[in-house]
Amino acid sequence: MCYGAPYADEGKVGSRHMNSRTHMLVGAAASLALLEPTGASACLIDVAGGLLGGWICDIDVSSKSAVKDYFFGVDILVPLVAIALIDHFLDLGVAGLVLNRMGPVATVGAAAFVVLAVLGSQWKRLCHHRTFMHSFLAVVLFSAPLWLVFPQVVPPFAIGMLLHVALDVTNKKGVQVLFPLSPRFCLRLFRSDGRVDKGLRLVALVALGVLLCRLGIA
């Protein structure tokens, strides 16, 4: 558990959040390692879910720069578009699986997910970063509507979100994982934007490539 003034280091120079690409790569690599998908389509689903889960926790990050917000969105848009193009040109059928499920129930699930994402992105106006969007409650609430849309993507998505929270707990800023309960947790092992972040990003990228090769995708 963290001690001291709540969120005392938020907004200070040098105490930024961990790079979103690090979380995304860790989520994607861990999803492949833990779920061990068989076939190219299953691999694409797990990579996409891990990327999205690793990314979405930080949609509540406060930024005064429109450019930073733009590139944060690009971080998830580019790989998801690439995955869609791979699915299309290799005729893997993932898009078809998703579209075949788009009845009334899936539509409600998609709408609920979008509403949650909009609310989560505005959470910074109500409270601090690393509260609701970094909690077990958020993992459940975001996973539930995704299950209605496309159940296969929920396990990697949840893995991505949970690992994002776990990695942030190792930093020096508190994480309110039991939101709405007030205790914050952190191990104070290293800064969120330091050399460990960069090293972990490289390790996750290499691990993702190795796993894709081992599974016969790359």
For 42-96, what is each residue's pLDDT tens digit? 999 999 999 999 999 998 876 665 566 666 788 899 999 999 999 999 999 999 9
Are 38 and 217 in contact by the 8 Å Cβ rule? The answer is no
The C-alpha atoms of residue 25 and residue 112 are separated, in whole angstroms, by 26
| Tens digits of residue pLDDT in 99-110 | 999 999 999 999
How far from chain centre, in Å, is Cα 17? Answer: 13
| pLDDT class of 172 with cuts at 50, 70, 90 | confident
The C-alpha atoms of residue 46 and residue 38 are separated, in whole angstroms, by 10
Reply yes or no on whether the pLDDT at 120 is more than 90. no
Nearest to residue 127, comparing CAs of 72, 54, 182? 182
Q: What is the pTM of this model?
A: 0.88
| pLDDT class of 13 with cuts at 50, 70, 90 | very low
Percent of the chain with pLDDT over 70: 83
CB atoms within 10 A of CB 10: 15
Structure tokens belonging to residue 145: 């509507």
| Three-state secondary-structure class, residue 9 | coil
- Mean pLDDT in the chain? 86
Which pLDDT belongs to residue 112?
96
Nearest to residue 45, comparing CAs of 96, 11, 4, 8? 96
| Three-state secondary-structure class, residue 185 | strand
